[in-house]
Chain A
Amino acid sequence: MKKLNLLLEKKDNLLSIYFTCGFPKLNDTTKVICELEKSGVDFIEVGLPYSDPIADGPTIQYSSQKALENGINLDIIFDQLVSIKKTNKTPLVLMGYLNQMLKYGEDKFCQKLVDCGIDTLIIPDLPMIEFENHYQALFDKYGLTNIFLITPNTKENRIKKIDSYTKAFIYVVASSSITGAKGKISNEQITYFKRIKSMELKSKLIIGFGISDKSTFKTACEFANGAIIGSAFINYISNNSIDKIEDFIKPIIV
């Protein structure tokens, strides 16, 4: 069984952190992963900086732009990830935009993920129909798992279809929003989380978008197997040394 699936099976209240490769500095990628692992993060979303991240809010746009200015690119990222393959025990989930894979060469891209020990990916602009028509076969060929997103506006029959395709977890987008934004979880969101939970899907659920601190993380975990923090973490490492990552993570876990 895959590392991530084992984790999803045996543990609840999973904390996942999103970070942007090559941010704040070009060579911080591996250090950030190591610090996150040391701090007790359960799995890590490895963000590929993209020039036009349409699903991301200002914070991740900023970190992506900064990382690209630092000179990051896919080859450097894959080298960085390969270098920690042996020591890193924490499951990594890759997050990037479809054009990055398309331009790099789909097969070459997938092979690189395998080389880096990554078997799960999130591509926010990969729609289900394209997955069905083309990418499902490609990912199967390389043993890769695709993560689908659901939102407050996703219809029930579509959620069920997504559930049937899911091999790791469903990414429950907390609100109709791009990443970042918000700060609190509203009653409306709670109703939505309850609705999804009551569907008794076979897949594990991880909530993301708008999760920023202990309080929002705790609330999310009441309705799902865990949650992802992205923008709040990027903000933190923009303003604090990456040696102090533990100071951000510990209060959330405890």
Chain B
Amino acid sequence: MKSKFQPDKNGYFGQYGGAFIPELLYPNVKELEDNYIQIIESEEFQKEYKSLLKDYVGRPTPLYLAKRLSEKYGATIYLKREDLNHTGAHKVNNTIGQILIAQKLGKTKIIAETGAGQHGVATATVCALMDLECTVFMGEKDIVRQAPNVARMKMLGAKVIPATSGSKTLKDATNEAIRYWIQNPDTFYLIGSVVGPHPHPDMVARLQAVISEEMKWQLKEKTGKENPDTIIACVGGGSNAAGAFYHYMDHEEVELIAVEAAGLGINSGESAATSQLGEVGIIHGSKTILMQDKYGQIAEPYSISAGLDYPGVGPLHAFLYETKRAKFMSATDKEALSAAYELSKLEGIIPALETAHALAVLSKIKFKEDQVVVINLSGRGDKDLEIFIKYLKE
């Protein structure tokens, strides 16, 4: 039976999704829609994808029992170590897959948007690997706060174009990428999250699904059961959460927790907690939950984490929220920062600021004894050192 968490033929998860794109993009999106499942499911693709994930990315990533963290919170907490992937985050699972799809479609020019720069780096990396031309759009504000990643992208041979409109962050970088795509229909838009017009959300979710695919056998090995009790992941657009939830969405007994960035506080006016602050709307070609004003003007979200300050959320997550299949929680800037310090000191792992939001809800949950919890450790914190150091001084 088909999962109810798979999109229908028009790309809808319940009322969310679809492809609200200008006619100019129709041929590109249609080409991808007609081919992506066939390509992903082909033996040839699977062989190349799996082999690159193993030998180039370093998968499978470990599932690590965090003993001291477990002790502190009175649960059995595993960390899915996506931070140990090549390029330092889960983003590369998707870019490896999409670059292979782009090649099969005969595309030679790649564009991408990036927030924290992790997706930009992961895209620049696979473009270098495959010798394809790479252009990355990044908000002007993010270029400043994630400077190390900008340098990495450039070193990898990518062109980084600043997005200077609107809030000068991820939303605007995505707008610019879409505009460029419209003007250059021969390019392949290598989108970084489970957002955008159908089939992008579904395609990216399928490529990130490797996270939960591995979790299943790793948990079986370690606990004797494939299923944990709880999975926790942070959500901006939602790609790491989609990957960590994917193979468990139909297993209702597994609790799924998505953590959004509350910024300075949900009701502070400086937040990115979309599920709490948003209403149905359309952004980047997808109908979803969206932060907007009463006239449908898209809000400028805020989070200390450049990867989470997105005013929307992927349509799959909007559906998981609406159906209550996933529980949505949030963490403020401060809570995330202290969670990052806590993990560093307890386990010797410096997490990305995005990931730190997922860790920050541990103190808000009452765990049962022996509750098996998996936290998707989506990325490492090297790129955020400047912000961490500043916080330490304060």
Say which residue of B10, B166, B185, B298 sits within 8 Å of A99 (CB atoms): B298
Residue B39 at the A interface, CB < 8 A? no
A residues engaging B (CB < 8 A)? 50-52, 54-55, 57, 61, 65, 68, 73-75, 97-104, 124-130, 133, 148-151, 153-155, 158, 173, 176-178, 181
Judging by beta carbons under 8 Å apart, are A51 and B166 in contact? yes
Binary interface encoding of chain B residues 16-50 relative to chain A, with 1 for a CB under 8 A from any of its CBs, else 0:
00111111101100000000000000000000000
Supply 12 A–B pairs (Cβ within 8 Å), ascending by A: A50-B297, A52-B166, A68-B297, A98-B20, A103-B294, A127-B19, A130-B20, A149-B23, A150-B23, A153-B24, A155-B27, A176-B183
Nearest residue, chain B, Cβ from A153: B27
Given contacts A55-B179, A153-B24, 4 further A-B contacts (CB under 8 A): A51-B298, A103-B296, A133-B10, A158-B26
* B20/A52 in contact, CB under 8 A: no
Tell which of B119-127, B234-242, B279-287, B346-354 binds the partner: B279-287
Interchain residue pairs A-B with the least CB separation, the first 4:
A103-B296, A51-B297, A99-B282, A149-B23
- By the criterion CB–CB under 8 Å, are A102 and B165 in contact? no
Alpha-carbon distance A133/B22, docked complex (angstroms):
17
Q: Beyond A99-B283, A176-B185, A177-B182, is A127–B294 a contact (Cβ under 8 Å)?
A: no
**Known contacts A61-B165, A102-B280, A103-B281; is A125 also within 8 Å of B296 by CB?**
no
Residue pair B292, A99 in contact (C-beta under 8 Å): yes
Contacting residues, chain B, for A50 (C-beta < 8 A) = 296-297
B198 to chain A, nearest CB (A): 10
Binding site for A on B (CB under 8 A): 10, 18-24, 26-27, 165-166, 171, 175, 178-179, 182-185, 279-285, 290, 292, 294-298
Tell me the minimal C-beta distance from A73 to chain B in angstroms.
5
| Complex Cα gap A89–B21 (Å) | 33
Distance in angstroms from B296 CB to nearest chain A CB is: 3
Residues of B within 8 A of A133 (CB): 10
Across the interface, which residues of B come within 8 angstroms of A173, CB to CB? 23-24
CA distance A97 to B295 in the complex (A): 11
Give Cα A97–Cα B282 distance, bound, in whole angstroms.
9
Q: Say whether B182 contacts A55, CB under 8 Å.
A: yes
The listed residue (B24, B175, B279, B284) touching A103 by CB distance below 8 A is B279
Contact indicator A126/B295 (Cβ below 8 Å): no
Q: How far is the CA of A148 from the CA of B179 in the complex (A)?
A: 19
Find chain A residues with CB under 8 A from B298 CB: 51-52, 99
B281→A102 contact, CB < 8 A? yes
The reply to whether A176 and B182 contact each other, CB–CB distance below 8 Å, is yes
A61–B20 alpha-carbon span in the complex (Å): 19
Query: In the complex, what residues of A have CB within 8 A of residue B21's CB?
Result: 125, 127
Which of chain B's residues have a CB closer than 8 A to the CB of A150? 23
Which residues of the partner chain A approach B175 to less than 8 Å between Cβ atoms?
A: 52, 54
Task: Give the chain B neighbours of A177 by CB distance below 8 A.
Answer: 24, 182-183
From the candidates A73, A103, A149, name the one contacting B292 in the complex (CB within 8 A): A103
Min CB distance, A100 to chain B, in Å?
4
- On whether A149 and B22 interact (CB within 8 A), knowing A54-B179, A74-B295, A103-B279, the answer reads yes
Asked if residues A124 and B281 are in contact (CB atoms below 8 Å), the reply is no
Q: Which residues of B contact A155 (CB under 8 A)?
A: 27
A149 surroundings in chain B (CB, below 8 A): 22-24
Given the contacts A125-B285, A127-B19, A149-B24, A178 and B182 also touching, CB distance less than 8 Å: yes
Give the distance to chain A from B318, nearest Cβ to Cβ, in Å: 14
Contacts of A104 in B (CB 8 A): 295-296
The distance in angstroms between the C-alpha atoms of A52 and B18, with both chains bound, is 18
Q: A73-B295, A153-B27 are in contact. Are A98 and B282 (CB under 8 A)?
A: yes
CB of A167 to closest CB in B, whole Å: 17
- Docked pose: A130 CA to B11 CA in angstroms: 12
Q: How far is the CB of B394 from chain A (nearest CB, A)?
A: 33
Do B165 and A65 touch across chains, with their CB atoms under 8 A apart?
Answer: yes
Taking a contact as CB atoms under 8 Å apart, the answer to whether A99 and B296 are in contact is yes
Question: Complex Cα distance A74/B297, Å?
Answer: 10
Q: Residues of A contacting B10 with CB < 8 Å? A: 129, 133
Cβ-defined contact, B166 with A125, below 8 A = no
Interfacial chain B residues near A98, Cβ < 8 Å:
20, 282
Q: Taking A73-B295, A130-B18 as contacts, is the C-beta distance between A102 and B179 under 8 angstroms?
A: no
Known: A54-B178, A129-B10, A178-B179. A148 touches B297 (CB 8 A): no
Residue contact B20 to A125, C-beta cutoff 8 Å: yes
CA distance A182 to B46 in the complex (A): 43
Nearest-CB distance from B294 to chain A (Å)? 7
A100 to B80 alpha-carbon distance, docked (Å): 41
Quote the shortest CB–CB distance from B305 to chain A (angstroms).
21
Whole-angstrom CA separation of A128 from B284 in the bound complex:
17
Selected contact of B185 from candidates A68, A101, A153, CB within 8 Å: A153
**Which residues of the partner chain B approach A101 to less than 8 Å between Cβ atoms?**
296
A130 CA / B287 CA spacing, docked (Å): 12
Nearest Cβ on chain A to B12's Cβ, whole angstroms: 10
Bound Cα distance A195, B292 (Å) = 42
B20, A55: Cβ atoms under 8 Å?
no
